[in-house]
């Protein structure tokens, strides 16, 4: 098991199971509105299409994630935002019927190249899931697991240092420093999620993908994670999928709106929430029936 | 994007009702303020003292409506977290009711001034000029409320553009009055009061222009408060 390869944990996205994504007759020739591309792209997707068997889940999406920025992806259930997020570290590879075309690059290098080591890729592009999913091990081991299998620590002291630093960056250290040998599963939901974030950052990723990281948490735990996301963006590039529009508005610098597998609009978060340019975006963020 | 604000198209029926309720209340408040201004002008140009008294003492109704609308807007912000056009409507209304309230204050001011002018022999000086100014001002006020009711950007800009004529009329009335004061110093006290009434009317037009600018903001999302009418026209007409 790999700290960042959460085969056992990641749920299959809604797009894969029965929503009719082929009902998009009204927008066959669509163009993303706004600024999908940026100058300082850490990851860039070009003309990405994702299929689950014959279901076309993502259609011609081109989108950059700017370095040290938080990109929020919003949209109704089944719109493809999770599928797109999962294609950014090849998490979709674990779904046999899933097929990805187009180009996705990390620092300009194609992550779907045949010589790409996915274990290494997922160390560089870490992931945090909706439900906190700590390993059934001690708090210390949860964080130390990734660095150990990637050979990032050469001594116990070095490992201690990585564990402490990761827990500190995840704002969890003060709460767990005296119980590091207790099971991670014994923590509260919010603490478990921060433990998962600590685990993800322990292997020094460059990008962190978050799939609704707060949907199982209470408002206080949510506020702490959001605060944390804001701090983490100093060091990492973050892409977050969220159902909470207020959360997208609070934590991100750019927001992308997906609808039926299409990237409808991307822009500065402030602009999207005060003056969206596409009617579908407006209808979604204001809670109007589309 | 479609320019209609579709305030009644939310999934939450209750939210539709809340938004429409504040819009309706703004129009009610606008109607009341308009009525106050009409009465104030009538009191001024027809020496109607009872009317002046009424205007001077009933501004509290306008104030109460302002508070009620502001409170409802705060509730919507806190409970609904509106975004995009909904947010702009709520923010625009918060600013707009402040202007309406100030218009009510100006009407009240005219009412009080008419009362103090009652015994002056100069009270009817420049009556036709004042009447004309007042009528144009009422038209602008009405036009701005109409533009709000229909969320009509073109009508809002057209209405705001008329303020230029008001400024000119006010300017020439002021000049007339200064000339008269110099010729007849004993009239200064009364003529100053007449000028203050004209000034109040001119301010009503300015506040009406602000309402028009809020309509542009609500529909178009651009804050045009400090742009010239020419710039606004170039951008949106």
DSSP string, chain A: -BTTB-TTTPPPPGGGTT--TT--GGGSS---EE----TTEEEEEEEEEEEETTEEEEEEEEEEEETT-EEEEE-STTSSHHHHHHHTTTGGGGSTTEEEEEEEEETTEETTSTT--HHHHHHHEEEE-SS----SSBHHHHHHHHHHHTT--SSHHHHHHHHHHHHHHTT-HHHHTT-TTSBGGGS-HHHHHHHHHHHHHHT--SEEEEESTTTTS-HHHHHHHHHHHHHHTTTSEEEEE-S-HHHHHHH-SEEEEEETTEEEEEEEHHHHHHS-SSHHHHHHHTTB--
Q: Look-up: residue for tokens 């027809």?
A: B46
Find the residue in B nearest to A244 (Cα). Answer: B81
Calpha distance A104→B43 (Å, rounded): 74
Q: What confidence category does residue A11 fall into, taking pLDDT thresholds of 50, 70 and 90?
A: low
Asked if B84 is an interface residue toward chain A (Cβ–Cβ < 8 A), one would say: yes
Q: What is the tens place of the pLDDT at every residue in B193-220?
A: 999 999 999 999 999 999 999 999 999 9
Q: What's residue B3's pLDDT?
A: 67
Compute how many other C-beta atoms are within 10 angstroms of the C-beta atom of residue A260.
25
Contact list in B for residue A249 (CB cut-off 8 A) is 83
Find the residue in A nearest to B8 (Cα). Answer: A288
Q: What confidence category does residue A288 fall into, taking pLDDT thresholds of 50, 70 and 90?
A: confident
Asked if A289 is an interface residue toward chain B (Cβ–Cβ < 8 A), one would say: yes
CB within 8 Å: B11 and A276: no
Asked if B48 is an interface residue toward chain A (Cβ–Cβ < 8 A), one would say: no
Q: What's residue A16's pLDDT?
A: 52
Substitution target in A271, A273, A286, A289 with the highest count of B β-carbons within 10 Å is A286
Q: What is the tens place of the pLDDT at every residue in B70-80?
A: 999 999 999 99
Asked if A249 is an interface residue toward chain B (Cβ–Cβ < 8 A), one would say: yes
Asked if B13 is an interface residue toward chain A (Cβ–Cβ < 8 A), one would say: no
Q: What's residue A8's pLDDT?
A: 40
Q: What's residue B5's pLDDT?
A: 83
Calpha distance A35→A144 (Å, rounded): 39
Task: Name the burial class of residue A189, with classes exposed (0-12), middle (13-18) and buried (19+) by CB atoms within 10 angstroms of its CB.
Answer: middle
Q: pTM of the prediction?
A: 0.81
Q: What is the tens place of the pLDDT at every residue in B176-198?
A: 999 999 999 999 999 999 999 99
Q: What are phi and psi of A41, to 5 degrees?
A: -70, 130
Q: What is the mean pLDDT of chain A?
A: 89
Residue A7 has pLDDT above 50, yes or no: no
Q: What's residue A255's pLDDT?
A: 97
CA atoms within 13 A on the CB side of A152: 20
Q: Tokens in use for B79? A: 């409970």
Q: What's residue A12's pLDDT?
A: 54
Asked if A7 is an interface residue toward chain B (Cβ–Cβ < 8 A), one would say: no
Q: How far is A59 from chain B (nearest CA, A)?
A: 22
The crossing angle, in degrees rounded to 10, of helices B188-220 and B153-161 is: 160
Q: What's residue A216's pLDDT?
A: 83
Contact list in A for residue B4 (CB cut-off 8 A) is none
Q: How far is B55 from chain A (nearest CA, A)?
A: 40
Q: What's residue B121's pLDDT?
A: 87
Q: What is the ipTM of this complex?
A: 0.73
Calpha distance A139→B155 (Å, rounded): 65
Q: What is the tens place of the pLDDT at every residue in A202-254?
A: 999 999 999 999 988 888 888 988 999 999 999 999 999 999 999 999 999 99
Q: Tokens in use for B235? A: 């951008």
Contact list in A for residue B82 (CB cut-off 8 A) is 286
Find the residue in B nearest to A247 (Cα). Answer: B81
Find the residue in A nearest to B7 (Cα). Answer: A288
CB within 8 Å: A273 and B83: yes
Find the residue in A nearest to B87 (Cα). Answer: A274
Residues of chain B falling short of pLDDT 50: 2
Cα of B183 vs its chain's centroid, Å: 35
Residue A115 has pLDDT above 60, yes or no: yes
- Domains in chain A: ranges and CATH: 14-285 (3.40.50.300)
Q: How far is A277 from chain B (nearest CA, A)?
A: 6
Q: What's residue A19's pLDDT?
A: 43
């Amino acid at each position: 098991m790999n700290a960042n390869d959460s085969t056992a944990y990641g749920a299959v996205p809604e797009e894969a199971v029965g929503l009719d994504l082929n009902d998009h007759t009204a927008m066959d020739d669509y163009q993303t509105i706004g600024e999908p591309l940026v100058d300082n792209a850490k990851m860039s997707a070009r003309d990405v299409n994702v299929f689950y068997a014959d279901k076309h889940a993502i259609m011609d999406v081109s989108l950059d994630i700017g370095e040290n920025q938080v990109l929020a992806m919003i949209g109704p259930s089944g719109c493809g935002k999770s599928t797109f997020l999962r294609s950014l570290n090849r998490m979709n590879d674990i779904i046999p019927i899933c097929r990805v075309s187009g180009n996705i690059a990390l620092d300009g290098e194609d992550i779907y190249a045949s010589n790409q080591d996915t274990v290494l890729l997922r160390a560089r592009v870490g992931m945090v899931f909706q439900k906190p999913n700590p390993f059934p091990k001690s708090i210390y081991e949860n964080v130390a697991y990734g660095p150990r299998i990637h050979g990032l620590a050469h001594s116990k002291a070095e490992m201690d240092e990585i564990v402490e630093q990761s827990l500190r960056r995840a704002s969890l250290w003060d709460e767990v420093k005296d119980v590091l040998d207790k099971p991670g599963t014994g923590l509260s939901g919010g603490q478990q999620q921060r433990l998962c974030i600590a685990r993800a950052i322990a292997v020094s990723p460059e990008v962190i993908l978050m799939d609704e990281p707060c949907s199982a948490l209470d408002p206080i735990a949510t506020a702490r994670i959001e605060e944390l996301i804001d701090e983490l963006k100093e060091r990492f590039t973050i892409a977050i999928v969220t159902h909470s529009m207020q959360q997208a508005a609070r934590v991100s610098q750019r927001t992308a709106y997906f609808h039926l597998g299409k990237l409808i609009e991307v822009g500065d978060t402030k602009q999207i929430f005060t003056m969206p340019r596409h009617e579908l975006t407006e209808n979604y963020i204001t809670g109007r029936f589309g | 994007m479609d320019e209609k604000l579709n305030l009644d198209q939310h999934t939450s029926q209750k939210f539709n009702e809340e938004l429409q309720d504040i819009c309706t209340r703004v129009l009610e408040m606008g109607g009341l303020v308009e009525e106050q201004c009409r009465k104030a002008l009538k009191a001024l140009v027809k020496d109607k003292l009872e009317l002046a008294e009424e205007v001077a003492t009933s501004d509290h109704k306008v104030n109460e409506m302002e508070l009620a609308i502001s409170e409802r807007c705060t509730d919507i912000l806190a409970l609904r977290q509106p975004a995009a056009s909904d947010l702009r409507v709520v923010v625009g209304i918060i600013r707009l009711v402040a202007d309406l309230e100030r218009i009510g204050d100006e009407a009240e001011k005219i009412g009080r001034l008419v009362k103090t002018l009652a015994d002056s022999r100069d009270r009817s000086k420049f009556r036709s000029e004042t009447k004309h100014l007042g009528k144009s001002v009422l038209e602008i006020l009405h036009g701005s409320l109409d533009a709000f009711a229909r969320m009509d950007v073109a009508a809002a800009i057209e209405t705001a553009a008329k303020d230029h004529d008001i400024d000119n009329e006010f300017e020439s009335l002021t000049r007339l009055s200064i000339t008269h004061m110099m010729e007849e110093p004993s009239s200064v006290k009364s003529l100053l009061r007449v000028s203050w009434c004209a000034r109040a009317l001119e301010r009503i037009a300015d506040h009406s222009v602000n309402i028009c600018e809020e309509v542009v903001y609500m529909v178009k999302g651009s804050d045009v408060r400090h742009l010239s009418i020419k710039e606004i026209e170039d951008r949106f007409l």
